[in-house]
Structure 1
Amino acid sequence: MQTYSPQPVAFARGEGVWLWDTEGKKYLDALAGIAVNGLGHAHPTLVGALCEQAAKLIHTSNLFRVAEQERAAEKVCAIAGMDNAFFCNSGAEANEAAIKLARLHGHQRGIENATIVVMEKAWHGRTLATLSATGSRKAQAGFEPLMGGFLRVPYNDFAAIERLAENQSIVAVLMEVLQGEGGIHLADADYLRKVRSLCDRRQWLLMIDEVQSGIGRTGKWFAHQWAGIVPDVMPLAKGLGSGVPIGACLARGVAAKVFKPGNHGTTFGGGPLVSVAA
């Protein structure tokens, strides 16, 4: 299906920051596979780990314990200050998991019409739920009716969120610290701290989408760390696997206890092969 309009070039191999096309022409890769290849191309440690794991075991499913997944979860949760992780295959899936987690958390608290505050110009993915949370009418056009359960406010405007403080249906705030697709908008540190404080007072989950900005892309492991805050839920992907398709939804505190067996799942997410990349 023609979902992209690709450039008239195909790449045959890569090494570090360099790519070579099928005609032998050399390119400096400034795109990094859409903010994915944090280790560059053909990094020997990553290649070695993948080859070693592929020779042993590629996939078993989450019906059994996956030692590689458990090690990856322990490492990423340690650097993020989170309690547990749900592994999936993409950033959209990670955000989808966060949305489901927030809604289920609301229902567990007796909130029937669980509502999530989202931002103008946000980008969270192209599944129906994440597209509905996304703040791009261009991307949403033609896919109506979109999902309800979202309240949209201007980005970096604390007063706009504060005005919703008495809304008894709100269960979470979903936002990016650094909007990428929306035009490179950076949230003020003071704004982030105020949102964190409001979420604490109102018992809302603060869900920070670090799919594009996470894994060292801003000089810290995660962009929200510049403000000295910690979210309750954090979707990750892109640089997490350096080109190997893996996403994760991390949680802590009460959010880490929401999902129970049967609430959510994935066939491929967190398999042995992809987990060694993380």
Structure 2
Amino acid sequence: MSNWNERNKEVIMNTYGKLPLVIDRGEGAELIDENGKRYLDFITGLAVNIVGHSHPEIVQTLRDQGEKFLHISNLYVNKPAVELAERLLAVTFPGKVFYTNSGAEATEAVIKLVHKWTKQQETGQDGIVVLKKSFHGRTLGALKLTRQPGVYQDFPVSEFPVYDVEPHDIKALEAVLKEKKPAALLMEPVLGSGGVVPLESNYLEQAAKLCQQYGVLFCMDEIQTGIGRTGKLFAYQHTSVKPDVVLFAKGIGGGLPLGGIIVKAEHGELFKPGDHGTTFAPSPLSAALGNTVLKLLIDDGVLEAGRRASEKLQTELQSLQNEFAEHIESIRGLGMMIGIVMKFDASKVKEIQQTLLERGMLVDVTQQTIIRLLPPLIVSDEQIEYFLQLFRDVLQEVSE
């Protein structure tokens, strides 16, 4: 065993509770540690590696674009970025794209965009409505929109109004829109860090209508749910809603940092030169990978194959919940974004996670007692069965 864990502690600031793994490489739905042990990866870099690790077409795109150029700045036209924006608009709605390096930066861009919109409207609207337990990022602007005390703590916050309401409480949402006159509503269609809570279609559609009624921008945070994670390219597409703004990141860059916002055509000119910017986004390499990711998902059938695999996984998990009803409270989620709500306390759930890790299975834990699964869309039926058997074995041991 090398001393990489100790070296990490010596030089890296302790902001993440790392699992005791030193990864050497990845192949498909698996990660392989420095000793050659294989792990089935149902975390996928926190919903990033949507087509798995080291996909041959991803690797080829890295080589092809790397031989051309890696960075040119936004002073020149970036062909991969233009092509990717065209692809994103073709599968969402007519409008324009602003690129960022991350999901948090996409949230920051939305805050600025909303501010520019309020100045243009001259209606006196101000502030953003979010859902309780939502997560929109860790930078200071995004932090104010994140409704998790363990995340926002007592850091300084930007001075703009934020109102939060309970998910699915449409009356509370309408009351805020009517009384506080906010400029925008920002919500995740599935609360990820907040416990893998899918918002009901009817609620989303009612929220969209209220935004239209009260003249409020309807913004969908698809940073975790987007790029095929839920069985559609974006989760809002399971409904009839038409957002004004869609935030994206995570899976789009094929494993490299990339994010952004898609803005409806009528808002596409809100940003003028000098209003916002970034040195690195969009990275030509990340944008080229984004084009490959969308090709794989849409043209090569990975999205449809992943949807079928997620249906199998969810169906089998429901059966497992019935079998172990004394341990599993519920199974919830959408597509390859699944929460297993356990009846154990936090320490026991972490113990289950650790046992699975020791047996070659990587899962996440959120909200202390919810096992979160974020498998890649390329996971095979055999790998799903492998996970289910491991999980069943661990639950059976707990029952004894």
TM-score band by shorter chain is over 0.9
Residue deviations 1:41-100 (CA, integer Å, cap 9, x gap): 111111101111111111010111111110010001111224111111111111111111
The match for 2:200 is: 188
Greater shift, 254-263 or 224-233, is seen at 254-263
More helix by share: 2
Alignment pair present for 1:255 and 2:236:
no
The match for 2:242 is: 230
The match for 2:24 is: 12
Cα 1:168–1:142, aligned 2, differ >3 Å: closer, same or farther?
closer
Q: Is the 8 A contact 2:189 2:198 kept in 1?
A: yes
Alignment pair present for 1:271 and 2:271:
no
Three-state SS of the structure 2 residue aligned to 1:118 is strand
Three-state SS of the structure 2 residue aligned to 1:163 is helix
Structure 2 distance, partners of 1:191, 1:253, is 25
Cα 1:21–1:38, aligned 2, differ >3 Å: closer, same or farther?
same
Alignment-mate amino acid for residue 248 of structure 2: L
Q: 1:99 aligns with which of 90, 93, 111?
A: 111
Structure 1 distance, partners of 2:78, 2:263, is 19
Q: Is the 8 A contact 1:14 1:41 kept in 2?
A: yes
Q: CA RMSD in A?
A: 1.4
Write out the 4+ residue segments of structure 1 that deviate beyond 3 Å after TM superposition: 144-148
Q: Which has the larger radius of gyration?
A: 2
The match for 1:215 is: 227
The match for 2:139 is: 127
The match for 2:369 is: none
Q: Is the 8 A contact 1:107 1:114 kept in 2?
A: no
Greater shift, 6-15 or 137-146, is seen at 137-146
Structure 2 distance, partners of 1:70, 1:216, is 21
Cα 1:230–1:144, aligned 2, differ >3 Å: closer, same or farther?
same
Structure 1 distance, partners of 2:215, 2:273, is 24
Structure 2 distance, partners of 1:154, 1:172, is 16
Q: Is the 8 A contact 1:119 1:175 kept in 2?
A: yes
Cα 1:100–1:172, aligned 2, differ >3 Å: closer, same or farther?
same
The match for 1:116 is: 128
Can you give the 5+ residue segments of structure 1 that lack an aligned partner in the other structure? none
Larger RCO: 1 or 2 (CA < 8 Å, sep 6+): 1
Can you give the 5+ residue segments of structure 2 that lack an aligned partner in the other structure? 1-12, 291-400
The match for 1:75 is: 87
Q: 1:159 aligns with which of 149, 171, 193?
A: 171
Q: TM (normalized to structure 2)?
A: 0.67
Greater shift, 36-45 or 166-175, is seen at 166-175
Structure 2 distance, partners of 1:259, 1:6, is 39
Residue deviations 1:125-157 (CA, integer Å, cap 9, x gap): 001111100111111113145643211111121
Q: Percent identity?
A: 39
Q: TM (normalized to structure 1)?
A: 0.96
Cα 1:113–1:163, aligned 2, differ >3 Å: closer, same or farther?
closer
Q: Is the 8 A contact 1:211 1:236 kept in 2?
A: yes
